[in-house]
């Protein structure tokens, strides 16, 4: 499995995302730009220029028509994927930390940071998909401030009008978008900041990662913790692997406390865990610093990792990976 | 004795894994069924409201 190195960012990666078809990979970074790459050869297809601060988050719709991004310049931007043009910009009093499209591409949810007297806020915007996409409403369709610990990650669930959130305290919760009411919560889902959240294809379960060194699979309706994966390093990202019973975990110590020991101890490796047996099955080396973000191809054909070192590495799985059944012939539902 | 013990451990491990897979698959089947139920109900509701509208007209 020879990785393709995507060189184009000048600073650390914050989030990477495959499109629905898996032919494109979007990456955003502290260098203020968003790049899009062909996943089969690592060629850069384009750059989305305009943000004036760290781009914290991106998401792309299911048609690969619109892309949404959030940044430290307090802006949420809607882009035309094909032309690279910015179609619309929303401005807030604080940074945008997380964005996500709904399953039907008609809505976007975003989290803005708690800072300078402003509370953490969750807003949902209706996306007008007619015409060029440059006629959007300035005001959110819904907005609320989560009570207690601020939200760090969010996504739409399989239930209409309900979003899943992960919080600074380690809490996970479900919110009713229309009322802003916290419908359900698990205060002790994690012991520290929730750093990533990725949904299963049907959005009935999700995986979260945390600085508490663990990742967990949650039922998005009951908030039951289904599985726990405990590592020895703070985790920045966790991803589900479609068509294979694995989860991929990545992390490492903060940049300040990074030492050569961390590299030697394999703290910057992507870890593969069996999602049902909760056992580690393998590790992939490569990055020279913490792994900030991991994404898996929607059909499970490859995976990519983005690091504090500024590189994105795309790994196309080879035949042996698909043929191997290290645990025998067990049918495991996705 | 050692061999018998390791065989026992193996059998237990296989049984444990089998049980974990069965539990996982049962949970997946349940949540998939719930989602399609929910979607079915939403569709029925939409249909109902459309019929209501027609009656009003």
- Are residues A205 and B35, on separate chains, in Cβ contact within 8 Å? no
Q: What is the pLDDT of residues B20-50, one digit of tens each?
A: 999 999 999 999 998 888 777 766 666 666 6
Mutating which of B16, B19, B28 best tests the A interface, going by the most A Cβ atoms within 10 A? B28
Confidence of residue A326 (pLDDT cuts 50, 70, 90): confident
Cα separations in angstroms, A51 against A27, A83, A90: 14, 16, 12
In the predicted model, is pLDDT for residue B56 greater than 70? no
Position A175 scores a pLDDT of 98
Nearest to B20 among A158, A202, A276 (CB): A276
**Residue A79 and residue A68: Cα distance in Å, rounded?**
6
Chain A residues with CB-CB distance to B32 below 8 A = 202, 204
- What is the dotted CATH code of the domain comprising A4-323? 2.130.10.10
Q: What is the pLDDT of residues A38-50, one digit of tens each?
A: 999 999 999 999 9
Position B43 scores a pLDDT of 65
What are the structure tokens assigned to A310, written together?
């500024």
B41 at the A interface (CB within 8 A)? no
What are the structure tokens assigned to A199, written together?
């949904």
Sign for the pseudo-dihedral over CA of A193, A163, A89, A80: positive
Sign for the pseudo-dihedral over CA of B35, B39, B40, B44: positive
Q: What is the pLDDT of residues A188-198, one digit of tens each?
A: 999 999 999 99
Q: What is the pLDDT of residues A196-218, one digit of tens each?
A: 999 999 999 999 999 999 999 99
Q: What is the pLDDT of residues A244-288, one digit of tens each?
A: 999 999 999 765 565 667 666 668 999 999 999 999 999 999 999
Confidence of residue B3 (pLDDT cuts 50, 70, 90): confident
Average pLDDT over chain A, rounded to an integer: 95
Section A52-56 average pLDDT? 98
Q: Nearest CA to A15 among A1, A32, A27, A31?
A: A27
Spatial contact of A268 and A284, defined as CB atoms under 8 Å apart: no
A226 → chain B, closest CA residue: B24
Position A256 scores a pLDDT of 58
Q: What is the pLDDT of residues A112-168, one digit of tens each?
A: 999 989 999 999 999 999 999 999 999 999 999 998 999 999 999 999 999 999 999
Q: What is the pLDDT of residues A25-38, one digit of tens each?
A: 999 999 999 999 99
For residue A156, the Cα-to-chain-centroid distance in whole angstroms is: 13
Chain B residues with CB-CB distance to A276 below 8 A = 17, 20-21, 24
CB atoms closer than 10 angstroms to residue B49: 10
Section A308-322 average pLDDT? 94
CB atoms closer than 10 angstroms to residue A21: 13
Q: Give this prediction's pTM.
A: 0.92
Chain B residues with CB-CB distance to A221 below 8 A = 31, 34
Q: Nearest CA to A234 among A260, A205, A256?
A: A256
B19 at the A interface (CB within 8 A)? no
Chain A residues with CB-CB distance to B25 below 8 A = 331-333
Least Cα separation, residue B47 to chain A (angstroms)? 17
Name which residue leads in pLDDT, A164 or A330. Answer: A164
In the predicted model, is pLDDT for residue A96 greater than 70? yes
Chain A residues with CB-CB distance to B34 below 8 A = 204, 221
B29 → chain A, closest CA residue: A333
- Are residues B38 and A158, on separate chains, in Cβ contact within 8 Å? yes
Least Cα separation, residue A263 to chain B (angstroms)? 33
**Residue A6 and residue A306: Cα distance in Å, rounded?**
9
Confidence of residue A1 (pLDDT cuts 50, 70, 90): confident
A217 → chain B, closest CA residue: B24
Nearest to B38 among A159, A205, A330 (CB): A159
């Amino acid at each position: 499995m020879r990785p393709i190195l995507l060189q184009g960012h000048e600073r650390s990666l914050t989030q990477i995302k495959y499109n629905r078809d898996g032919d494109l990979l979007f990456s955003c970074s502290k260098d203020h730009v968003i790049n899009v790459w062909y996943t089969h050869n690592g060629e850069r297809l384009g750059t989305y220029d305009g943000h004036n601060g760290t781009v914290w988050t991106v998401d792309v719709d299911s048609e690969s028509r619109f892309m949404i991004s959030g940044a430290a310049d307090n802006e949420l931007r809607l882009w035309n994927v094909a032309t690279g043009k910015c179609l619309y910009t929303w401005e807030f009093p604080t940074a945008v930390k997380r964005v996500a499209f709904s399953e039907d591409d008609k809505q976007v949810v975003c989290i803005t940071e708690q800072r300078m007297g402003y509370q953490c806020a969750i807003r949902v915007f209706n996306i007008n998909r007619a015409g060029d996409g440059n006629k959007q409403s300035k005001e959110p369709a819904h907005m609320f401030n989560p009570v207690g610990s601020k939200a760090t990650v969010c996504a739409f669930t399989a239930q209409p009008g309900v979003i899943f959130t992960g919080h600074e305290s380690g809490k996970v919760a479900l919110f009713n978008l229309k009322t802003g009411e916290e419908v359900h919560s698990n205060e002790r889902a994690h012991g520290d900041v929730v750093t990533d959240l990725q949904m299963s294809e049907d959005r009935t379960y999700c995986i979260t990662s945390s600085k508490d060194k663990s990742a967990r699979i949650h039922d998005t309706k009951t908030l039951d913790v289904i599985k726990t994966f405990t590592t020895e390093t703070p985790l920045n990202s966790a991803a589900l692997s479609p068509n294979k019973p694995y989860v991929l975990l990545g992390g490492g110590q903060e940049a300040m406390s990074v030492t050569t020991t961390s590299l030697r101890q394999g703290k910057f490796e992507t870890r593969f865990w069996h999602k049902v047996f909760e056992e580690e099955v393998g590790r992939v080396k490569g990055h020279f610093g913490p792994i900030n973000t991991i994404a898996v191809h929607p059909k499970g054909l490859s995976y990519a990792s983005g690091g504090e070192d500024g590189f994105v590495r795309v790994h196309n799985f080879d035949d042996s990976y698909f043929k191997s059944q290290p645990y025998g012939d067990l049918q495991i539902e996705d | 004795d050692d061999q018998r013990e390791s065989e026992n451990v193996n059998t237990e491990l296989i049984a444990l894994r089998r049980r974990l897979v069965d539990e996982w698959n049962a949970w997946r089947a349940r949540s998939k069924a719930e989602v399609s139920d929910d979607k079915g109900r939403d569709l029925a509701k939409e249909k109902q409201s459309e019929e209501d509208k027609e009656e009003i007209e």
